[in-house]
């Protein structure tokens, strides 16, 4: 799903739009399977007892609450988290009921680094670290294809027409 163009400034276009890596969904899927398996097992233990209907309803309610809390909420959180690089800025948006946003103009980006552990390398994700004019570097975890994102962001920062210096010119002027 593309980032809405009506939220961008005129002349700005999206270069990269990513959600966090799918590894964030491993535990929610695991908990879904555990809750369904455990609920099915417990319902099967009850058999055809006359009093089993009330226990089945209680199991269904508890199972539904657990699935909402352990599976649906993390999936919705994952789906509503966006990491976007445009031609003008880096944007990070997250949240469902309480939305939080961060924008970094490309002209303010001083350096871009990435880190990924051995497991992150196997899964194809990592942490992107952006140092800007702010006091502390900003870390964005679980960025898919972090090396490609790093390269694209570096290119956008260095090719940004808003910069004061253009390669091949003297003192930034033609």
Could you state, in order of their start, the residue ranges of all structural domains in the chain?
A: 25-77, 82-159
Determine the pLDDT at residue 146: 94
- Answer yes or no: are the C-beta atoms of 146 and 126 closer than 8 Å: yes
Q: In the CATH hierarchy, which fold is given to the domain comprising 82-159?
A: PH-domain like (2.30.29)
Cα-Cα-Cα-Cα torsion 102, 128, 16, 25, nearest 10 degrees, comes to: -90
Entry pTM: 0.77
- Token couple for 111: 């350096």
- Token couple for 55: 């226990």
Report the C-alpha gap between 151 and 113 in whole angstroms: 10
Report the C-alpha gap between 91 and 82 in whole angstroms: 8
Determine the pLDDT at residue 43: 84
Residues of the chain with pLDDT under 50: 163, 165-174
Q: Give 62's contacts (C-beta < 8 A, 6+ positions apart).
A: 39
Determine the pLDDT at residue 165: 46
Determine the pLDDT at residue 1: 52
Determine the pLDDT at residue 167: 46
Cα distances from 42 to residues 52, 81, 150, in angstroms, run 11, 36, 49
- Token couple for 54: 């009330």
Element of type H or E holding 50: none
- Answer yes or no: are the C-beta atoms of 110 and 132 closer than 8 Å: yes
Which residue from 171, 158, 144 is spatially nearest to 111, judged by alpha carbons? 158
């Amino acid at each position: 799903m593309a980032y809405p163009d009506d939220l961008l400034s005129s002349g700005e276009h999206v270069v990269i739009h990513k959600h966090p890596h799918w590894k964030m969904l491993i535990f929610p899927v695991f908990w879904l399977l555990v809750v369904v398996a455990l609920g099915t097992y417990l319902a099967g233990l009850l058999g055809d007892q006359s009093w089993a209907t009330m226990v089945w309803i209680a199991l269904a309610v508890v199972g539904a609450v657990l699935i909402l809390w352990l599976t649906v909420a993390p999936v919705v959180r994952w789906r509503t988290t966006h990491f976007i690089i445009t031609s003008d800025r880096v944007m990070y948006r997250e949240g469902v009921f309480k939305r939080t946003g961060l924008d970094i103009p490309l002209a303010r980006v001083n350096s871009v680094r990435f880190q990924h552990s051995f497991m992150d390398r196997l899964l194809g994700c990592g942490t992107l670290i952006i140092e800007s004019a702010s006091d502390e570097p900003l870390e964005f975890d679980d960025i898919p294809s972090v090396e490609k994102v790093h390269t694209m962001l570096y290119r956008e920062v260095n090719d940004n027409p808003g910069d004061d210096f253009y390669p091949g010119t003297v003192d930034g002027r033609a």
